Amino acid sequence: MTVPHFAPAAVASTAPAAFAALRANGLRLSSARRLLLQALFAAERPLSAEDLAGDGDVASAYRNLEVLEGLGLVRHVHLGHGPRLYQPAGRPRDFVVCEGCGEVSPLSPAAVDAVRTAVLDAVGYRARFAHFPLAGLCPACSADSHHDAEMITNAHS
């Protein structure tokens, strides 16, 4: 299991603010870092290093993302099977993923707060969904009894 970075999120809700935070930490704003940050802040969803690299060097994208994550400018998330996905740390979003069809949807802050409160009340844990999504079955898959039977079978294996 991967572990999230717990560097405090940098106060950067825009790409220019992230550029300034990078410089304030004594790091150079290279063209690669500028492009990564611009793409992340422009995206409506988290992106993989492969998405961000495009035709460029994926290894370089990963190295720069690690630096940006260590500074608290970027966070990675896992939305099911597949590579890490990255989003700006200053604009965190929590997600729900369907284990049946793979649909991923962002959650409203109010919905996340309600789930966190329910978990805290039920078991005493302060739930975090920033690294891994809340998982379950979407309404369409819930209506399909095949998915329910499969989940019960997998839970008991």
Give me 104's structure tokens: 């991923």
Give me 2's structure tokens: 């991967």
pLDDT means per 10 residues in the chain (157 residues)?
A: 56 90 93 95 92 93 94 88 87 83 86 91 87 86 70 52
Task: Assess whether 148 and 116 both reside in one domain.
Answer: yes
What per-residue confidence (pLDDT) applies to 151? 54
Instruction: Work out how many domains the chain is built from and give that number.
Output: 2
Task: Assess whether 21 and 72 both reside in one domain.
Answer: yes
Give, as one character, the DSSP assignment of residue 108.
P
**Cα–Cα dist 52/69, whole Å:** 15
Cβ(156)–Cβ(150) under 8 Å?
no
Give, as one character, the DSSP assignment of residue 71.
T
Residue span of the structural domain in which 146 resides: 94-155
111: CATH? 3.30.1490
**Cα–Cα dist 149/157, whole Å:** 13
Task: Assess whether 98 and 39 both reside in one domain.
Answer: no
